[in-house]
């Protein structure tokens, strides 16, 4: 009985880890030459809203807004040479 439970738990773990857990959340980061590979959290886009286009295979609502914000920040940072902004799928990760 224990062996069956352990085997079932192992199978469940493997299946869950193989799932794409993309909940549509995107995170905006920034960095520059001074910080190297350091990713500095700016904002997380996790709205439950959706765009009609997202069902047609286009960018999700959160991804679209994250990319727009990154572009706006980038355009405002002309004085801070080397600073860049980018979006990553998922919630903030250190």
Q: Where are the alpha helices (DSSP H) in 19-60?
A: none
- Which residues 6+ apart lie within 8 Å of 47 measured at CB? 61, 62, 65
Which domain, by its residues, includes 43? 22-89
> Which span out of 22-26, 58-62, 89-93 was modeled with the highest average pLDDT?
89-93
Let me know if residue 10 belongs to a domain. Answer: no
Let me know if residue 51 belongs to a domain. Answer: yes
Let me know if residue 17 belongs to a domain. Answer: no
Report the pLDDT value the prediction gives residue 14, as an integer from 0 to 100.
Answer: 38
Query: Across all residues in the chain, what is the average pLDDT?
Result: 74
pLDDT, tens digit, for every residue of 26-71? Answer: 999 999 878 777 889 999 999 986 655 445 455 689 999 999 999 9
- Total structural domains within the chain: 1
Let me know if residue 46 belongs to a domain. Answer: yes
Let me know if residue 45 belongs to a domain. Answer: yes
**Whether this model's pTM surpasses 0.85:** no
Let me know if residue 11 belongs to a domain. Answer: no
């Amino acid at each position: 009985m224990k062996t069956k439970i352990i085997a079932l738990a192992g199978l469940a773990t493997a299946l869950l880890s193989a799932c794409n857990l993309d909940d549509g959340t995107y995170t905006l980061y920034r960095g520059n030459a001074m910080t190297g590979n350091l990713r500095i959290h700016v904002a997380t886009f996790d709205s439950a809203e959706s765009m009609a286009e997202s069902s047609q295979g286009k960018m999700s609502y959160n991804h679209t807004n994250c990319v727009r914000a990154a572009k706006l920040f980038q355009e405002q940072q002309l004085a801070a040479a080397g600073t860049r902004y980018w979006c990553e799928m998922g919630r903030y990760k250190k």
